Amino acid sequence: MMETILDTELQDWHKYEIGSRREITSLLRQIGEKNQLVRMLVRGEDDVCVTSILDMDEAAGTMLLDCPINREQTLRILATEKLRFETSLDKIRIVFIAEDIEPTTYEDRPALRCAIPATLVRLQRREYYRMETPMASPVRVAIPVVLESGGAVEAFTVSDISVGGLALLDHKLLLNTTLGQRMIGCSLALPDGAVGATLVVRNAIELTLLNGKRCRRLGCEFVDLSRGNLASVQRYITKLERERNARMAGLG
């Protein structure tokens, strides 16, 4: 069902699919706590209503949703075997399918109860969300380069990162900045371990530092990143996000 829905929207959507019950429950609970509106597609875009997540019952494997005011629409929802839901969390699109929807009450008002989805797609796209890497503990990516003396592997500082790619600083002006240039055999050194990747140059900017020296900033896209490596990048981004939120709250 999810595959049919998303194939035309994002060819490699499966790379963003989450199957961990714990992580799915956590994301849905955050959506509810932030009172984020959720679009419920009853019959595709022709029949849509807005709801919200009222409560999560992880032990029972269910969640409670706000009930539409329109009674006819509610009846159509209850008659539908599977429903598609769309929302966002911190500018990241969330899509999931819910089954076994039934009427119930929440705080003495009508509500809907359904099973917590078995999978969830978290479309964290490059253009939506990037995290700056900390200067105190910089992340570096090792890239094979061709020098006059032969081949070598050089380490470059990563300035920001997303699940779609990264931006790096080339202080020695060693890298080929041709747009579309593929850099094979790269190794991104994350705290949890090295992530192997192929990078493609998407943009390059010449910078002049405060000390007068020239530097290049290259925006690169990940190509053919495995699901395991994608998960490692996602975990690192989540870690950076938590640390940033703690600093903003005065806790870190």
Question: Tens digits of per-residue pLDDT, 191-210?
Answer: 989 999 999 998 888 877 66
Q: Where in the chain is the domain with CATH 2.30.110.10?
A: 2-123
Contact 216, 208 (CB under 8 A): no
Q: Where in the chain is the domain with CATH 2.40.10.220?
A: 131-248
What is the three-class DSSP state of 115?
strand
Tens digits of residue pLDDT in 146-169: 766 567 899 999 998 988 899 999
pLDDT reported for residue 170: 95
Q: Is the pTM of this model over 0.75?
A: no
Rounded (10°) CA dihedral 93, 98, 102, 104: -40
Alpha-carbon Rg for the chain, nearest whole angstrom, is: 22
**Residue 250: φ, ψ to 5°:** 80, 20
pLDDT reported for residue 248: 66
Contact 58, 116 (CB under 8 A): yes
Tens digits of residue pLDDT in 93-116: 889 998 889 999 999 999 999 999
pLDDT reported for residue 11: 47
Class of the 2-123 domain? Answer: mainly beta
Percent of the chain having pLDDT more than 70?
A: 85
Q: For residue 37, what pLDDT band results from cuts at 50, 70 and 90?
A: confident
Six-digit token pair at 216? 């290049």
Mean residue pLDDT of the chain comes to 84
CATH 2.60.40.2550 fits 131-248, yes or no: no
Tens digits of residue pLDDT in 141-150: 999 997 665 6
